[in-house]
Chains A and B, each alone.
Chain A
Amino acid sequence: MNLFELTVHQILDQIKAGKISASSVLAEVSARAQTLNVKTNAFVRLFPSPEIKAGPCPVPIAIKDNICVKGELTTCGSKILKGFKPPYDAGVVDKIKASGGLILGSANMDEFAFGSSCETSAYGPTRNPWALDRVPGGSSGGSAAAVAAGQALWALGSDTGGSIRQPASFCGVVGLKPTYGRVSRYGLIAFGSSLDQIGPFTKDVTDSALLLNIICGFDERDSTSLNVPVPDYTKALVKDINGLKIGIPQEYFLDGIEPDVAAAVKAAIEVFKKQGAVVKHISLPHTEYAVATYYIVATAEASSNLARFDGVQYGLRAMPPNLRKSPLIDMYEETRARGFGDEAKRRIMLGTYVLSSGYYDAYYLRAQKVRTLIKQDFDKVFSDCDVILSPTSPTTAFRIGEKINDPLAMYLSDIFTIPANMAGIPAISVPCGFDRAGLPIGLQLMAKPFAEETLLRAAYAYEQNTPWHLERAVL
Chain B
Amino acid sequence: MVSQETVNYIAGLARLHLAGAESEKFAKDLEAILHYVQKLDGLDVSVIKPTSHVLNVENVFRDDVIKPGLSQEQALAFSVENLNGGYKVPKVIE
Residues in A lying within 8 Å of B, measured CB to CB = 83-87, 179-181, 194, 220, 223-224, 226, 286, 288-289, 291-293, 295-296, 303, 307, 310-315, 317, 319-320, 324, 326-334, 336-337, 340, 345-346, 348-350, 352-353, 356, 363, 365-373, 375, 407-408, 411, 422-424, 449
Query: A86 to chain B: which residues have CB within 8 Å?
Result: 78
Instruction: Check if A292 sits within 8 Å of B30, measured CB to CB.
Output: no
Chain A nearest Cβ from B70, distance in angstroms: 6
Q: Which residues of A contact B45 (CB under 8 A)?
A: 366, 369-370, 373
A408–B89 touching, CB < 8 Å: no
- Min Cβ gap A71→B in Å is 10
If A296-B40, A370-B48 are given as contacts, then 18 extra A-B residue pairs at C-beta distance below 8 Å, sorted by A number, are A87-B78, A181-B57, A220-B62, A317-B81, A328-B89, A334-B17, A337-B16, A337-B17, A345-B16, A353-B10, A356-B9, A369-B49, A372-B50, A375-B51, A375-B54, A411-B33, A424-B54, A424-B55
CB within 8 Å: A-B pair count: 162
Q: Is A295 in contact with B33, judged by CB distance below 8 angstroms?
A: yes
Given A84-B78, A181-B55, A328-B90, A372 and B16 contact (CB-CB distance below 8 Å): no
Return the contact of B14 from the options A226, A286, A317, A352 (Cβ within 8 A): A352
Quick check: A224 and B57 within 8 Å, CB to CB? Answer: yes
- Return chain B residues, CB-CB under 8 Å to A289: 39-40, 43
Which one of B10, B30, B51 contacts A372 once the chains associate, using CB atoms below 8 Å? B51
Given the known interface contacts A313-B78, A349-B26, A373-B48, the answer about A319 and B40 at a Cβ–Cβ threshold of 8 Å is no
A298 to chain B, nearest CB (A): 12
Which of A326, A327, A334, A407 is the one whose CB lies under 8 Å from B29? A407
The answer for the CA separation of A366 and B92 in the assembled complex, in Å, is: 38
A365 touching B26, Cβ below 8 Å = no
**Could you tell me if B30 and A407 are in contact, using CB atoms closer than 8 angstroms?**
no
Cβ–Cβ < 8 Å partners of B66 in chain A? none
Whether B14 lies near A295 (C-beta < 8 A) is no
A87-B70, A314-B78, A407-B29 given; A373·B43 CB < 8 A = yes
Please, could you name 14 A-B residue pairs with CB atoms under 8 Å apart, sorted by A? A226-B55, A288-B39, A295-B33, A314-B78, A327-B93, A331-B89, A334-B17, A337-B17, A346-B29, A349-B16, A353-B6, A366-B41, A369-B51, A371-B54
A20 and B44 CA atoms in complex are apart in Å by 62
Contacts of A363 in B (CB 8 A): 37
Q: Cβ of A320: which chain B residues have Cβ within 8 Å of it?
A: 17
| Interface band, chain B | 35 or more
Q: From A326, which residue of chain B is reached at the shortest CB distance?
A: B93
- Give the docked Cα–Cα distance between A311 and B41 (Å): 38
B residues within 8 A CB of A422? Answer: 54
Most buried by A among B16, B41, B91: B16
Report whether over half of chain A's contact residues are helix, strand or loop; otherwise say mixed: helix
Chain A residue nearest in CB terms to B13? A352
Ordered nearest first, which 5 A-B pairs have the shortest CB separation?
A368-B50, A424-B54, A327-B90, A333-B17, A369-B45
A292-B37, A367-B40, A449-B55 known; A87+B74 contact, CB < 8 A: yes
Provide the residues of chain A in CB contact with B18, threshold 8 Å. 337
B51 partner residues in chain A, CB cutoff 8 A: 368-369, 371-372, 375
Contacts of A194 in B (CB 8 A): 52-54
Q: Using an 8 Å CB-CB cutoff, how does the interface string of B58-93 with A read, 1 for contact, 0 for none?
A: 001010000000100010011111000001011111
